[in-house]
Amino acid sequence: MQTLKFKTNIKCSGCLAKVSPYLDKSAGEGKWQVDINDADKTLTVQTDTSSNKIVESVEAAGFKIEKQYR
C-alpha cells in the first residue's frame, strides 16, 4: 500500500460530497481524505491503485488535480 498526495481544488463539503462516489470507487471507501483547510486542498490516498486512476476519478467528478512530490 502506498500513500499518494495530490493538490486539488476541492474546497468545501459540497465538493467532497460530489467527489466521494468517484474516490470511493477508485481508491476505496475510507482510504482517502481531503484537507480543505490546507491552501493546496491536499488529497491524501492510501491505496494500491495507480496515481493515474485517482487523477481520472477526480477529473471525472469535475475537479482539478495534480500530483504532489513532497
What gap in Å lies between CA 68 and CA 4, rounded to an integer?
8
Which residue range(s) make up the domain with 29? 2-67
Give this prediction's pTM.
Answer: 0.90
What gap in Å lies between CA 16 and CA 14, rounded to an integer?
5
Domain count, the chain: 1
Which helix (H) or strand (E) is 59 found in, with range? helix 51-60
Q: Which residues pair with 3 in a beta bridge?
A: 46
Neighbouring C-beta atoms of residue 35, cutoff 10 Å: 14
CATH number at residue 46: 3.30.70.100
Tens digits of pLDDT across the chain (70 residues):
899 999 999 999 999 999 999 999 999 999 999 999 999 999 999 988 889 999 999 999 999 999 886 5
